[in-house]
Homo-oligomer: A and B are copies of this chain.
Amino acid sequence: MGLTKTEVFTDQQNRVADLAKAFAHPARVAILQLLAQKKACVCGDIVDELPLAQATVSQHLKELKRIGIIQGSIDPPRVCYCIDEVVWQEARQLFGKVFDSVIVEKSCC
């Protein structure tokens, strides 16, 4: 056990969950904010901004890349990361949809 049963949920639910993971750790929120505000972009600069080891930051960047919300472009010996605008908008829209889905009328409890 201990393995999420992704197959029993809808694609939308799994996608929301995956995109939410991008924001589900404060370090990743911090990284996304740095990238979003273009305060940093190169991996090394991000490392400098955060009180975490380089390996740890790299791991978070890898996770964000897996989710698809950031892209990395090589500029040796540097790697420059940036928000993937398409996925960012997808996330915004998906979350918007979820947040809008509350039926405001009286609660049943």
Instruction: List residues of A whose CB falls within 8 A of some B CB.
Output: 4-6, 8-10, 13-14, 16-17, 20-30, 32-33, 36-38, 41, 50-52, 73, 75, 80-83, 85, 88, 91-92, 95, 98-99, 101-104, 107-109
Contacts and interface: CB of A to CB of B under 8 A. Distances in A.
Contacts of A21: 20, 24
Nearest to A39: B103
B109 A75 contact: yes
6 contacts: A5-B52, A20-B21, A33-B98, A38-B108, A41-B108, A41-B109
A5 B70 CA distance: 23
A108 B109 CA distance: 51
A9 B30 contact: yes
Given A29-B98, A36-B102, A37-B101, 13 more contacts: A8-B51, A9-B29, A9-B30, A20-B29, A23-B98, A33-B98, A36-B101, A36-B103, A37-B102, A37-B103, A38-B108, A41-B109, A80-B109
